[in-house]
């Protein structure tokens, strides 16, 4: 255990020298998962800068090891971290077994560059500061180590708690100092036969570091069976010294909070399972959380963290508008930064589109026919795969397809090479439900698949929030109060579940504005909105 991390463990609390840390004690329920993600994301954003979260638990099968489930976050551009639990469900928060880290060295990077294994199951409150220091390069990324974590101040993350009820709160007092170094030097000397008396003669605390004397007391308290007596002297044999768990000594001298003992391995290949983290999990997200996930997904695509995003769900719920807003905020427009394909596309037509825009972001909007046959689906799957360069092939007959060596990029004869390298990105916006958009799970193993499927009530609540921001096609002003009245009329109608959409609001507002602008009555616009919006 020679790899000890140096850290000042003083609690950052201006009001009290004793910091209150809230610890997750219960399992994170599936329904609470989005809330858990948002809280962890908030902490990482404060410590590491803008953080994006993958909206689903990631069930993975490492090449070596047991199946696990993790929560994945993207930080500092295209770096990523995943906090892992054992099994196939996000379980007890004190049951974190490991974390995986993608260093961003490759783009995209399908497998983690580092795997950090915790010697015992850890809690989120202990692991989050460790993750921050790991990403910031303050933890040696080779071998083994011990980390005495800082407390998470309640002013930094007051809501790290059980997501179904208030969690247990405990207090921990810390003293700053290089405690890891103290324990390391003391134990190393014990293993070499240099006993407590000899250590004291060498200078004790001044030589070994702060709390050397308390470290001796910790050994007496935790390992009394290892402490032998010879007159007035107490000593520990080198053989027994080798059995002492340094993390327990650190825990004892740092105020009672366990240290994290870990080992770091190279990341390994893994497969991501679509079972256990699919449509049912996405449906638990609120409408606005789903829109936020959509926006984060587009940003991750532009940051090269993924080659594809697939958006499922009925029309009129803001999928296209949100995609274009995020792209527009990055200075991209259709034809200048991305290429938009709307409507039907045959497999042959799709192959040409992919070739002609092979280095660009291609946005397929309501182009479900591109997935309608096996050839088109295979082309989309190949284009959205995880490699930086993806080979796209068309091996059917026909004079329009020639050997790549004979292909002239400047030629205008309409011919295409039979294969080419694709380095672009795919955003596929569909009105299909998830089980029809990705029936075999092949797309979600390659890219982000986000379901936008709000309830009617969620749509009405969202309409109230955005009603005042909608630009009318009719040149007639409507106050916010007037716009909310239109929402109330829409809400009073009897309609099937999951059929309400934002287009109804836009039609309703324009209907009222249009009838009022022509001198129509209140009864007239109310009836028209109710019947036709």
Give the ranges where 333-410 is alpha helix by DSSP (H). 347-356, 374-383
**d(C-alpha 203, C-alpha 192), whole Å:** 17
In sequence order, the 6+-apart residues with CB closer than 8 A to the CB of 198 are 189
7 band by pLDDT with thresholds 50, 70 and 90:
very low
Q: How confident is the model at residue 14 (pLDDT cuts 50, 70, 90)?
A: very low
Of 88-102, 174-188, 347-361, highest mean pLDDT? 347-361
* Cβ contact 242:410 at 8 Å: no
The answer to whether 274 and 425 have CB atoms below 8 angstroms apart is no
Report CA Rg, the chain: 30
Q: Is the pLDDT of residue 403 over 50?
A: yes
Q: Would you kindly state where each structural domain of the chain is located, as residue ranges?
A: 19-174+262-266, 186-253, 285-451, 456-532
What is the per-residue pLDDT across 320-333, written as a single tens digit (0 to 9) for each? Answer: 999 999 999 999 99
CA distance 360 to 429: 16
Q: Calculate what percentage of the chain has a pLDDT beyond 70.
A: 80
Tell me how far apart the alpha carbons of residues 229 and 221 are, in angstroms, rounded to a whole number. Answer: 15
* More confident of the two residues 150 and 277: 150
Whole-number pLDDT of residue 282: 40
Structure tokens at 119: 């010697």
Task: Give the per-residue pLDDT at 87.
Answer: 65
Cβ-contact 87, 97 below 8 angstroms: no
Pairing of strands 337-342, 361-365: parallel
- Closest among 163, 108, 142, 160 to 389, alpha carbons compared: 108
pLDDT at 412: 61
Tell me how far apart the alpha carbons of residues 385 and 196 are, in angstroms, rounded to a whole number.
Answer: 60
pLDDT digits (tens, 9 = 90+) for 208-230: 887 788 889 889 888 989 999 88
510-527 pLDDT per residue, tens = 999 999 999 999 999 999
Token pair listed for 6: 């140096």
CB 147 within 8 A of CB 139: yes
- Enumerate the β-bridge partners of residue 280: none
Conformational region of residue 11, where left means phi above 0, alpha means psi within -120 to 50, and beta covers everything else: beta
Residue 151 has pLDDT above 80, yes or no: no
Closest CA to 380 of 339, 448, 427, 418: 427
pLDDT at 512: 96
Question: 3-state DSSP call for residue 452?
Answer: coil
Q: pLDDT tier at 450 (50, 70, 90 boundaries)?
A: confident
For 26-66, write each residue's pLDDT tens digit. 345 555 566 677 778 888 888 898 888 776 677 788 776 77
pTM over 0.85: no
User: What's the mean pLDDT in 8-31?
Assistant: 34
CA distance 508 to 528: 8
CATH superfamily of 285-451: P-loop containing nucleotide triphosphate hydrolases (3.40.50.300)
pLDDT band at 106 (very low <50, low <70, confident <90, very high): low
Q: Cα–Cα distance between 348 and 385 in angstroms, integer?
A: 20
pLDDT band at 338 (very low <50, low <70, confident <90, very high): very high
Rounded Cα distance, 533 and 527, in Å: 10
Q: Which of 332, 10, 269 is nearest to 115 (CA)?
A: 269
- Cα 430 vs. chain centroid, distance in angstroms? 23
pLDDT at residue 489, as a whole number: 95
State mean pLDDT over 300-309. 88
**Beta carbons within 8 Å of 382's beta carbon, 6+ residues apart:** 390, 391, 392, 393, 422
Task: Please give the Cα distance from 360 to 382 (Å, whole number).
Answer: 15
Joined tokens for residue 283? 């449906």
pLDDT above 90 covers a percentage of the chain that reads 32
Average pLDDT, the chain: 79
- When pLDDT is cut at 50, 70 and 90, the band that residue 173 belongs to is very low
């Amino acid at each position: 255990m020679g790899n000890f991390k140096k850290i000042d463990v003083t609690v950052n609390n201006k009001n009290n020298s004793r910091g209150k840390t809230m610890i997750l004690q219960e399992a994170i329920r599936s329904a609470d998962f989005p809330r858990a993600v948002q809280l962890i994301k908030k902490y990482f954003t404060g410590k590491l800068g803008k953080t994006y979260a993958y909206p689903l638990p990631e069930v993975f099968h490492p090449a070596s090891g047991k199946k696990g489930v993790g929560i994945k976050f993207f930080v500092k551009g295209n770096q990523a971290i995943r906090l892992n639990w054992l099994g196939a469900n996000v379980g007890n928060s004190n049951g974190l077994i490991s974390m995986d880290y993608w260093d961003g060295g490759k783009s995209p990077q399908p497998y983690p560059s580092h795997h950090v294994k915790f010697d015992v199951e850890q809690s989120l409150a202990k692991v989050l500061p460790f993750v921050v220091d790991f990403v910031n390069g303050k933890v040696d990324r080779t071998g083994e180590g011990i980390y005495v974590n800082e407390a998470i101040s309640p002013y930094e993350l007051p809501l790290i708690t059980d997501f179904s009820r208030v969690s247990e709160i405990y207090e921990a007092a810390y003293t700053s100092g290089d405690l890891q170094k103290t324990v390391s030097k003391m134990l190393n000397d014990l293993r070499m036969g240099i006993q407590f008396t000899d250590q004291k003669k060498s200078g004790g605390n001044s030589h070994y570091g702060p709390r050397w004397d308390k470290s001796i007391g910790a050994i007496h308290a935790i390992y009394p069976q290892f402490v032998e007596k010879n007159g007035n002297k107490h000593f520990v044999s080198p053989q027994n010294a080798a059995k002492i768990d340094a993390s327990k000594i650190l825990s004892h001298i740092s105020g009672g909070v366990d240290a994290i003992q870990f080992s770091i391995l190279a990341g390994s290949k893994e497969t991501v399972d679509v079972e256990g983290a699919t449509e049912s999990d996405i449906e638990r997200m609120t409408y606005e959380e789903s829109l936020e996930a959509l926006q984060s997904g587009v940003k991750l695509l532009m940051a090269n963290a993924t080659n594809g995003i697939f958006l499922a769900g009925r029309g009129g719920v803001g999928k296209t508008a949100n995609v274009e807003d995020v792209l527009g905020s990055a200075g991209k427009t259709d034809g200048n930064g991305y290429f938009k394909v709307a409507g039907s596309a045959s497999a042959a037509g799709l192959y040409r589109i992919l070739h002609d825009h092979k280095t660009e972001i291609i946005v397929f909007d309501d182009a479900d026919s591109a997935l309608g046959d096996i050839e088109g689906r295979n082309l989309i799957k190949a284009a959205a795969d995880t490699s930086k360069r993806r080979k796209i092939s068309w091996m059917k007959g026909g004079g329009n397809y020639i050997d790549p060596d004979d292909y002239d990029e400047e030629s205008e004869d309409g011919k295409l090479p039979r294969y080419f390298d694709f380095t672009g990105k795919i955003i596929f916006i569909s009105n299909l439900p998830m089980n029809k958009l990705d029936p075999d799970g092949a797309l979600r193993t390659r890219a982000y698949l986000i379901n936008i499927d709000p309830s009617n009530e969620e749509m009405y609540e969202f309409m109230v929030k955005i009603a005042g921001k909608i630009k009318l096609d009719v040149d007639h002003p409507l106050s916010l109060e007037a716009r909310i009245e239109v929402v109330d009329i829409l809400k009073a109608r009897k309609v099937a579940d999951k059929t309400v959409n934002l287009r109804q609001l836009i039609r309703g507002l324009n209907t009222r504005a249009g009838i009022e602008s022509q001198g129509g009555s209140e009864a007239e616009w109310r009836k028209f909105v109710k019947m036709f919006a």
